[in-house]
Amino acid sequence: MSKEKDDNYWRERLTPEEFRVCREGGTERPFSGEYWATFEDGQYRCRCCGEALFDSESKFESGCGWPSFDAEASGGAIEERPDHSFGMQRTEILCANCGCHLGHVFPDGPTDTGLRYCVNSLSVKLDPGREEGAD
């Protein structure tokens, strides 16, 4: 997959709500996504291209209403860019492979990494059969 896929390509493969979040940078409502309270073992993959993004071992309960992780699955899976929308200064996170909007990363995580990757459930799919390093 590449970041060069056009909107029509993604509209054919995603639901309208998935497209809004993944391709247009939208956000799902807190406490509404499929994975905000899920703690099954597995690997969280990009909904658009299937790239491994987060392992379940890095997921933690943040209380924010979105799935939260303290580390990416492997170096280079996540791309970061400044986000100054809505008068805020945040860091947007995207799938480095296809450019899918995932959410934001914040430097307020409670673990040793100090990071909280706050992710939309609509941006990922849990692959429960996959274990860390099973690519």
Determine whether 118 is an active site residue. Answer: yes
Question: Does the annotation list 98 as a binding residue?
Answer: yes
Residue 46 assigned as binding residue: yes
Selection from 74, 88, 92 nearest residue 27 by Cα:
92
> Residue 48, annotated ligand binder?
no
CB crowding 70-80: b at 16 or more within 10 Å, else e? bbbbeeebbee
DSSP alpha helix (H) spans, 1-135: 7-13, 16-22
E strand segments, 1-123: 43-46, 52-55, 59-60, 68-69, 78-83, 90-95, 101-106, 116-119
Is 22 marked within a binding site?
no
In the set 22, 48, 100, 118, the catalytic residue is: 118
Tell me if residue 127 falls in helix, strand or coil: strand
Catalytic residue annotation? 118
Q: Which residue ranges are tagged as binding site?
A: 46, 49, 95, 98
Q: Which residue ranges are tagged as binding site for Zn(2+)?
A: 46, 49, 95, 98
